[in-house]
Amino acid sequence: MWNDRLKDGAYTSPGGTRIVFAYENVSTEVTKKTTAFDFPDASGTYVQDLGHSGRNYPLRVFFWGDDYDLQASAFEAALLETGVGKLEHPLYGTFDVVPFGTITRRDDLKTAANQAAIEVAFWETIGIVYPTSQTDKASQVLAALDRFNADAAEQFNDVTDLDSAIEKATFKNMYTALLDSAAGGLQAIADTQDDTRAQFNNIKDSITQGLDVLVADPLTLGFQTVLLLQAPARAATDIRARLTAYGDLATSLISGDGAVVEPGLDSTNSNAFHTADLYAFTYISGAVLSAVNNQFDTQVAALTAAGDLLDLLSSVTDWHDDNYEALGQIDTGAAYQQLQDTVALAAGFLVDISFSLKQERTLVLDRARTIIDLAAQLYGQVDEQLDFLINTNNLTGSEILELPRGRKIVYYV
């Protein structure tokens, strides 16, 4: 039944104070990030869809009893702390939130003398998307990536248990399977550039040939794994190909049978999860590195990349949390916190540069055209923009010869 799925409502402040509250009717709101474009020379409306905002959760919570006033005051104080807290919503799940807007408290001294009602809206947040520092934002992202690399390797060293021969043998088989999967998804990207291919292959060979030794040194193995998976991100190839490769690998890892471990399993299964966790987190960091190393031409491409990073982090985080809960373990949070900060900085960087990039426009052809004269009309030149026009509109072979009347064309100014 639906009411069996209800949970306690609770809020944990940025300082770590957790307060359980009673509640009544609940609701949530989310906004689609869409913009409509109308053009005088074309019928209809072009709607640009950039995903959705974070959700907000308005709540009316209650405290009652002999010390209701102290409970309500403590809850107020927790809401007023600066920073990101955690909302355990009774129906919708657990989220990183910030109390938003006006907070209202009502003490019904006449009609309910031992009760207080507090109204507050919690807004889901992804952290610091717009860094306030005036230093170079791309450098900030790269510095955050370096911190993630160190924390990820150190945490991998701390959580793996490879004391027995059986644990080591099982671990090597499982790690080799993950390594082969990563190579299958990233080799084509690495091969597009000679120095990237050499770096990727050298690290891969070093891990493969030295795995018997590295099993006894998880710190070094973790760090080499991070460097291996991030190497293709620096290849000078299509950004969509790189983001898709990393996204597909992460999605494949966290989906399907066995995505969440069974409760109460032994160290062998714990090792399997934590190794997969290292790979999943590092795939996200590879996507971040791909975006930061890319020269974006259009606003929509930069914003789409930012959305991809945030969506990928959200998906992997859910899987990560479910596994920790199933294992009955507590995440120290070092690697996750650094990854979250890195993704937030990267998203802020992409949003920031998007303001100076070309904006998307559209038109519908009123007669058959060639791509040469259309490129000249839209961009004022042909040679440098012809491939761009073809690629951004996914033109087919026949359309490259002649664009038919009524064809919608996207261009950028």
Q: State pLDDT tens for residues 321-360.
A: 988 888 888 888 889 989 999 999 999 899 888 888 877 7
C-alpha–C-alpha distance, residues 294 and 353, integer Å: 12
- Contacting residues for 3 by C-beta, under 8 A, at least 6 apart: none
**pLDDT tens digits, one per residue of 369-411:** 888 888 888 877 777 778 878 877 888 888 888 888 888 887 7
Residues 190-205: what's their mean pLDDT? 92
**pLDDT tens digits, one per residue of 41-75:** 455 666 666 667 778 899 999 998 888 888 999 99
Residue 42 has phi, psi (to 5 degrees) of -145, 140
pLDDT band at 259 (very low <50, low <70, confident <90, very high): very low
**pLDDT tens digits, one per residue of 157-182:** 998 888 888 888 888 888 999 999 99
Closest Cα to residue 208, out of 172, 160, 170, 167? Answer: 172
**pLDDT tens digits, one per residue of 217-248:** 999 999 999 999 999 999 988 899 999 999 99
| Lookup: tokens for 372 | 């040469």
C-alpha–C-alpha distance, residues 365 and 199, integer Å: 47
pLDDT of residue 164: 81
pLDDT of residue 145: 93
C-alpha–C-alpha distance, residues 273 and 258, integer Å: 10
C-alpha–C-alpha distance, residues 221 and 211, integer Å: 8
CA dihedral (201, 206, 207, 208) in degrees, to 10, reads: 80
pLDDT of residue 114: 80
Q: How many CB atoms lie within 10 A of CB 367?
A: 8
What is the overall mean pLDDT for the chain?
85
Closest Cα to residue 357, out of 294, 282, 298? Answer: 298
Q: How many CB atoms lie within 10 A of CB 320?
A: 21
C-alpha–C-alpha distance, residues 195 and 235, integer Å: 9
Are 34 and 50 in contact by the 8 Å Cβ rule? The answer is: yes
**pLDDT tens digits, one per residue of 116-141:** 899 999 998 876 554 444 457 888 89
Residues 78-84: what's their mean pLDDT? 89
C-alpha–C-alpha distance, residues 99 and 13, integer Å: 10
The residue that leads in pLDDT, 88 or 131, is 88
